[in-house]
A and B are shown apart, each in its own frame.
Chain A
Amino acid sequence: MPDILPVNETGEGFTIPYFDQWMAMPVIIRVAVVFIGISTIFILYIQFRIWFTRYKGYLLNKRVEKVVPVIDALIAEEIFMKSETGQKGAPHINFDAFRIPLFANHKNKQILIDRLINYRRSFSGSIGNHFKQLYLELGLDKLSTKKMNRRSWNMKVRGIRELTGMDVSISDVNILPLTNSKRHELRTEARNAYIKLSKNEPFKFFDISSEPLLDWDQIELFKTITTTENIAIPNFARWVTYSNNKSIISFCLKLIVHYNQQDAAPAVIKLLETKDHILRAEAINCLGKLKYEPAEAQLRHIYSNQPLNCQLEILKAIGRMSTGESAQFLRQEFMYSTDFDIRKNAAMSFVRNASPEYIDELMEASNDENKLILKHSMNPLIKY
């Protein structure tokens, strides 16, 4: 009979050694012992994970140290030495030189992919194209595509990055669903890739996007859109009118301003009727930055029914339009509003709308504080 379950002295049933002593301990001590036990197991587990990860990293580094010099030597010999010798016409690159047993190994293939992407990031022109050709010739694009079909999101991201880095197109069927993924990192990567790789309809994912575009995503996307060459820029009014995703509408308003799409202004004006005051303020801001003068009268008309953020945007927009038609309205707001921000923005816009004589007249009629605000607004170094 094992020690764990011995027969007790009377021969009835089984007992666990030290069970009586354990039960005799105060509860607090028992809880503490259990807690210490669990903590110890957890710390040991974490420590083993750290050692394991470090060991894996060490093995990978050793592999990289062995494989990278081979890749660099092959690339130098087959691509750089043949391409830059000053000979006319496209040089013949012997891609078979890369079909060596070393690259039959899956991990070595991955090192080759990473290295090719780094090379392509550093070199453009015909040499850059050779790296893409090599990537395709060796079938490495299939490995990257396979990664996109894996379950883990970070493998999918890796696959997308590799294909984007090599400028290899990805079918809509594969990438469009990922642009609306619940996983933020995957969604961002897929959206950026879609814009970079889809030459005809790079903004198609706006149609299906139900997940929000966070502020940081918008910055990233904006950078991708404005730095990708030969991108087909659509009229963003389409999404301002039809999208149900507020963050997409907000982003489109910024793009309308960036590309100065005056044609989109009627769609933006319709947005003034939305119940969401944040979106409404963004639409007003967009109209101001477009300097869309036909909207000025409507902005003045709706002013009194708006919350503070929209009122401030209306004052700024009128200032940007600088038609001179709203000088009287701005004077009223400056003189009689009780809110400092309203008075400040009204003054800023007033000096851009009123004649010098009118400004002098208002200056005369103002108290000390208002004079200070007006002088501040007239300073050309103050950015508006």
Chain B
Amino acid sequence: MNRILVIDDDEIIQNVLEKVLTKEGHHVEIAKNGKEGLQKLDLMPYEIVITDLMMPYANGFEIISKLKQHPNTEKASIIVISSITQEDSVMDSFKLGVDEYIRKPMMVGELLLRVNKLLANRSKYA
């Protein structure tokens, strides 16, 4: 069972991703903001982290930097879901090591495909 951490302050995104990803057979942990997300990093290693960029307490860029340094997530794949469409933000995210960038409003089917692709790649090169 793959472990996925979802960090997003939007209650709707939290509920939907939890249900949809759990149905796909993944173990999902939800964090309601950046601070809680960083606390959850100590719980267990994660294969994938899905995070928003604009959140209270710690923004997405800080979180991505910390994910890359934390032993439980240094090798995790990172997916950003954000309504920020500025080229700079997208480029900065990729420079920090993000694997996928999905713009809101998003297609759930697309997110699932990207999650599955990243997991497949991980098992292929593991």
Bound Cα distance from A120 to B108, whole angstroms: 12
Cβ 8 A contact of A127, one of B13, B19, B108: B108
Bound Cα distance from A126 to B105, whole angstroms: 12
| Distance to closest chain B CB from A328 (angstroms) | 42
Say if the beta carbon of A122 comes within 8 Å of chain B.
Answer: yes
Say if the beta carbon of B23 comes within 8 Å of chain A.
Answer: yes
Say if the beta carbon of A125 comes within 8 Å of chain B.
Answer: yes
Main secondary structure of the interface of A (DSSP, over half): helix
Whether the Cβ atoms of A123 and B19 lie closer than 8 Å is: no
Interface range on chain B: under 10, 10 to 19, 20 to 34, or 35 or more? 10 to 19
Whether the Cβ atoms of A122 and B107 lie closer than 8 Å is: no
Near B by CB (< 8 A), chain A positions 103-124 give: 118-124
Bound Cα distance from A120 to B19, whole angstroms: 17
Please name all residues of chain B whose beta carbon is closer than 8 Å to the beta carbon of A118 when the two chains form the complex.
12
Complex: chain B residue closest to A119, CB-CB: B12
Bound Cα distance from A124 to B107, whole angstroms: 5
Say if the beta carbon of B27 comes within 8 Å of chain A.
Answer: no
Whether the Cβ atoms of B19 and A122 lie closer than 8 Å is: no
Bound Cα distance from A76 to B15, whole angstroms: 9
Bound Cα distance from A125 to B102, whole angstroms: 13
Say if the beta carbon of B20 comes within 8 Å of chain A.
Answer: yes
Please name all residues of chain B whose beta carbon is closer than 8 Å to the beta carbon of A81 when the two chains form the complex.
19, 23
Say if the beta carbon of B16 comes within 8 Å of chain A.
Answer: yes
Please name all residues of chain A whose beta carbon is closer than 8 Å to the beta carbon of B105 when the two chains form the complex.
120-124, 128
Cβ 8 A contact of A125, one of B10, B20, B109: B109
Say if the beta carbon of B44 comes within 8 Å of chain A.
Answer: no
Bound Cα distance from A76 to B16, whole angstroms: 7
Whether the Cβ atoms of A123 and B16 lie closer than 8 Å is: yes
| Distance to closest chain A CB from B80 (angstroms) | 15
Cβ 8 A contact of B109, one of A72, A84, A119, A121: A84
Interface centre among B10, B12, B13 (most CB of A within 10 A): B12
Say if the beta carbon of B106 comes within 8 Å of chain A.
Answer: yes
Whether the Cβ atoms of B15 and A125 lie closer than 8 Å is: no
Whether the Cβ atoms of A125 and B107 lie closer than 8 Å is: yes
Please name all residues of chain A whose beta carbon is closer than 8 Å to the beta carbon of B91 when the two chains form the complex.
none
Whether the Cβ atoms of A83 and B108 lie closer than 8 Å is: yes
Please name all residues of chain A whose beta carbon is closer than 8 Å to the beta carbon of B23 when the two chains form the complex.
81, 84-85
Q: A119-B12, A122-B10, A122-B13 given as contacts; is B19 within 8 A of A76 (CB)?
A: yes
Say if the beta carbon of A80 comes within 8 Å of chain B.
Answer: yes
Say if the beta carbon of B88 comes within 8 Å of chain A.
Answer: no
| Distance to closest chain B CB from A51 (angstroms) | 29
Bound Cα distance from A122 to B110, whole angstroms: 13
Bound Cα distance from A34 to B57, whole angstroms: 51
Complex: chain B residue closest to A127, CB-CB: B108
Please name all residues of chain B whose beta carbon is closer than 8 Å to the beta carbon of A127 when the two chains form the complex.
107-109
Could you pull out 24 A-B pairs where Cβ atoms are within 8 angstroms? A72-B12, A72-B15, A76-B15, A76-B19, A80-B19, A80-B108, A81-B23, A83-B109, A84-B20, A84-B23, A84-B108, A84-B109, A84-B112, A120-B105, A121-B105, A122-B10, A122-B12, A122-B105, A122-B106, A123-B16, A123-B105, A124-B105, A124-B106, A125-B108
A-to-B contact residues, CB < 8 Å: 72, 76, 80-81, 83-85, 118-128
Q: Which 9 residue pairs across A and B have the least CB separation, nearest first?
A: A125-B107, A124-B105, A76-B19, A84-B108, A122-B12, A123-B105, A72-B15, A122-B105, A124-B107
Known contacts A124-B107, A125-B110; 17 further A-B pairs (Cβ under 8 A): A72-B15, A80-B19, A80-B20, A81-B23, A83-B109, A85-B23, A122-B10, A122-B13, A122-B104, A122-B105, A123-B16, A123-B105, A123-B107, A124-B105, A124-B106, A125-B107, A125-B109
B-to-A contact residues, CB < 8 Å: 10, 12-13, 15-16, 19-20, 23, 104-110, 112
